[in-house]
Amino acid sequence: MGKGTQAHLLHERLGACHLSTGDVFRAASRTNCIQSPAMTAALEYMRRGDLVPDSTVWEMVRERSGCVRCQGGFVLDGFPRTLAQAEALNQLMQEEKISLSAVVNYELPLAEIVSRLSGRRICEKCKSVFHVTQQPPKAAGICDHCGGRLYQREDDRPESITVRMEVYERSTAPLIQFYQHLGLLLPVAATGSPEEICARTVTALEQRSQPVT
């Protein structure tokens, strides 16, 4: 399971607000969703097959900036992905006089990333996530929760994953250096079950929050 699963588990475990840019983009593509100007602009880019620019992604995040003021804290999922987004987030945090506790970097060998993502299946109705080997449904191709059909996302096919990793190396990996420089990077091994990874993450966060004696 990926970062979205971990963000959801951390939301449940810590009571923190979960802000997922993936969920925001999916909401923008639904016809019954009331769209903000930023969501409308993002949808136009996606319809043309273009990447949504940083400025539009940032506006979509700002529209939900109430999450960063949540008393229980917040977990950002899928943002920031570029240095420009990270710098914009840093500016917002300064304006709100809020500081980040940590930026979790889940570490996993490439071969396992391909295996994990290519085995992922999503319910077309309730969006529940399964895995063909690690978390299979009770009936093949059928969601345990609502009976919807499970499908493989185009970007979860092995060839697409390779392209995604190339994009990651170009645009997202520099964030590691950015947050290392700020002293916020928190490496966590992403091996084991989702629950084991979550427990490892919580322990690392708790250790970071303890005062140095």
What's residue 211's pLDDT?
Answer: 57
Using omega within 30 degrees of 0 as the cis cutoff, is the peptide bond preceding 80 cis?
yes
Catalytically active residues are: 3, 81, 120, 153, 164
Q: What is the pTM of this model?
A: 0.69
State the Cα–Cα distance between residues 121 and 50, nearest whole angstrom.
Answer: 25
What's residue 82's pLDDT?
Answer: 85
State the Cα–Cα distance between residues 183 and 171, nearest whole angstrom.
Answer: 20
State the Cα–Cα distance between residues 74 and 84, nearest whole angstrom.
Answer: 21
Overall CATH class of domain 1-101:
alpha beta
Domain ranges (residues) in the chain: 1-101
pLDDT along the chain (213 residues), means of 10: 82 85 66 68 75 79 74 83 87 85 89 86 91 92 96 88 82 89 94 91 88 50
What's residue 180's pLDDT?
Answer: 94
User: Which residues, at least 6 apart from 43, have a Cβ–Cβ distance to it below 8 Å?
Assistant: 28, 29, 35
User: Which residues, at least 6 apart from 82, have a Cβ–Cβ distance to it below 8 Å?
Assistant: 54, 171, 172, 175
What's residue 213's pLDDT?
Answer: 45
